[in-house]
């Protein structure tokens, strides 16, 4: 798969293309159904397959502040799509000038002139052009005018509700990680470099790897989570606290701290990926450090039992 950014490439496609349209934040089950359809239809029609998306969420650019926290970094999106048979991942830059393009100008100047589109694949609720004025019926009309076919992916549901990035964000924000897993098709994860912290975990016998996720990412609700941690290509069982460590009153900044179970190595400066499996409990202020340590031991036992059951189940599949 080739990754293209408009900032470093002004080339237009000479080969005919099939283009998947959308923000694709999360690359959830619905997105992957769209992309798999794109790849299949493109291969059948001898087209180069392109996922067309933006470097930043349009809503955050238009309102000039973080309105919509994201489910994926750009690099994670690249890594996930690199695992399938997609030809191109095309990141366009959404800015105020771009936002003023009429729906037809977007189709003509971007999809026709730059991407040489012959097939468009989009979700049933896809909107495009100035103020989202373009919709699926208009895209089909423009397809007839400019000579490209439009394939529409219907709503995909889970538990009688449509799968959407908004629904997944709400699940994560509310600590409903098991539901998020069903909608994403994988565990929600955060990747970041391990940084030096206050070493509170070390002082109470539970050393932690502290990470500072990208500020635009969705963070799970404050609490303690059963997690798995990818380090140097190996997956470890772990437990992660998200929040402010209220037992220690001088903590002012929200932190993400991961204790890797049965592991005691210096990993400062290394990049880890933390996969959130299940919320154990809310964050709580304890009357003493000893009571906190007792609770962490209980949490650890709960995490071990859960992970043992999960591993046994995966061995049977």
Claim to verify: residue 219 and residue 110 sit in the same structural domain: no
**Model confidence, pTM:** 0.90
In-domain check, residue 269? yes
Report DSSP letters for 261-274, one per residue: TT-----TT-EEEE
Chain segment 96-105, per-residue pLDDT in tens: 888 899 999 9
In a domain, 181, yes or no: no
Does residue 110 sit in the same domain as residue 34?
yes
Percent of the chain topping pLDDT 90: 74
Indicate if 130 and 31 belong to the same structural domain.
Answer: yes
Position with higher pLDDT, 251 vs 54: 54
Domain presence at residue 110: yes
* Torsion region of 143: left, alpha or beta (phi above 0 gives left; psi -120 to 50 gives alpha): alpha
158-193 pLDDT, tens digit each: 999 999 999 999 999 999 999 999 999 999 999 999
Q: Are residues 243 and 136 in the same domain?
A: no
Identify the residue whose tokens are 């000039």.
64
Same-domain status, 8 and 151 = yes
Q: How far apart are CA 187 and CA 194, in angstroms?
A: 20
**Domain count of the fold of the chain:** 2
Phi-psi category of residue 90: left, alpha or beta, with phi > 0 → left and psi -120 to 50 → alpha: beta
pLDDT tens, position by position, 16-35: 999 999 999 999 999 999 99
Domain contains 217: yes
97/113 Cα distance (integer angstroms): 18
CATH number of the domain where residue 16 is located:
3.40.50.620
**Residues 223 and 132 placed together within one structural domain of the fold:** no
If asked whether residues 118 and 241 sit together in one domain, one would say: no
Q: 104, 137, 156 — which closes off a domain?
A: 156
Q: Is residue 89 part of a domain?
A: yes
- 194 membership: H or E segment, kind and range: strand 188-195
Does residue 17 sit in the same domain as residue 150?
A: yes
Contact 227, 239 (CB under 8 A): yes
Label residue 51 by pLDDT band (50, 70, 90). very high
In DSSP terms, 153 is beta-bridged to 123
Q: What is the chain's mean pLDDT, rounded?
A: 91
Length of the chain: 317
**Among candidate residues 156, 175, 197, the one where a domain is terminated:** 156
Q: Are residues 11 and 149 in the same domain?
A: yes
Structural domain that includes position 193: 187-315
Strand ranges (E), 104-148: 117-123
In a domain, 206, yes or no: yes
Residue with tokens 């949490």: 299
Q: Are residues 21 and 108 in the same domain?
A: yes
The domain that holds 204 is classified in CATH as 2.40.30.30
Residue 162 in domain: no
pLDDT value for 182: 97
257 is catalytic: yes
In a domain, 290, yes or no: yes
Confidence check: pLDDT of 44 > 80: yes
From 140, 156, 172, the end of a domain falls on: 156
245: left (phi over 0), alpha (psi -120 to 50) or beta: left
- Same structural domain, 77 and 21: yes
On the CB side of 244, how many CA atoms lie within 13 Å of its CA?
A: 8
Q: Which tokens sit at 309?
A: 């059951």
What backbone phi and psi angles, to 5 degrees, belong to 130?
-50, 125
Q: Which of 276, 258, 257, 259 is nearest to 176 (CA)?
A: 276
CB 13 within 8 A of CB 45: no
**What pLDDT, on the 0 to 100 scale, is given for residue 94?**
83
- Mean pLDDT for 220-242 is 97
Q: Which of 59, 83, 193, 257 is catalytic?
A: 257
SS3 for 29-41, per residue? Answer: HHHHHHHHHHHHH
Residues 95 and 138 in one domain: yes
């Amino acid at each position: 798969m080739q990754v293209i950014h408009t900032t470093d490439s002004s080339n237009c496609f000479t080969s005919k293309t099939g283009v998947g349209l959308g923000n694709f934040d999360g690359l959830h089950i619905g997105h992957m159904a769209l992309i798999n359809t794109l790849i299949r239809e493109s291969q059948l029609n001898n087209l180069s397959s392109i996922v067309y998306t933006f470097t930043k969420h349009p809503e955050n650019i238009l309102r000039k502040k973080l309105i919509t926290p994201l489910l994926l970094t750009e690099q994670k999106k690249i890594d996930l799509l690199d695992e399938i048979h997609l030809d191109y991942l095309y990141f366009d830059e959404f800015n105020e000038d771009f936002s003023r393009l009429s729906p037809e100008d977007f189709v003509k100047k971007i999809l026709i002139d730059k991407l040489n589109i012959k097939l468009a694949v989009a979700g049933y609720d896809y909107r495009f052009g100035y103020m989202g004025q373009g919709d699926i019926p208009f895209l089909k009309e423009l397809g007839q005018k400019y000579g490209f076919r439009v394939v529409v992916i219907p709503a995909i549901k889970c538990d009688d509700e449509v799968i959407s990035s908004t629904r997944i964000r709400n699940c994560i924000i509310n600590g409903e990680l098991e539901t998020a897993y069903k909608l994403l098709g994988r565990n929600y994860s955060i990747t970041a470099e391990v940084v030096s912290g206050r070493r509170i975990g070390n002082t109470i016998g539970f050393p932690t790897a502290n990470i500072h996720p990208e500020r635009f990412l969705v963070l799970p609700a404050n609490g303690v989570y059963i997690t798995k941690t990818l380090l140097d290509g190996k997956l470890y069982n772990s437990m992660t606290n998200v929040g402010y460590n209220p037992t220690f009153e001088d903590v002012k900044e929200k932190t993400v701290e991961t204790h890797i179970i049965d592991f005691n190595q210096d990993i400062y400066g290394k990049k880890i990926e933390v996969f959130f499996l299940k919320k154990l409990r809310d964050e709580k202020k304890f009357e003493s450090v000893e009571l906190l340590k007792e609770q962490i031991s209980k949490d650890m036992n709960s995490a071990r039992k859960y992970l043992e059951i999960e591993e046994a189940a995966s061995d049977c599949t």
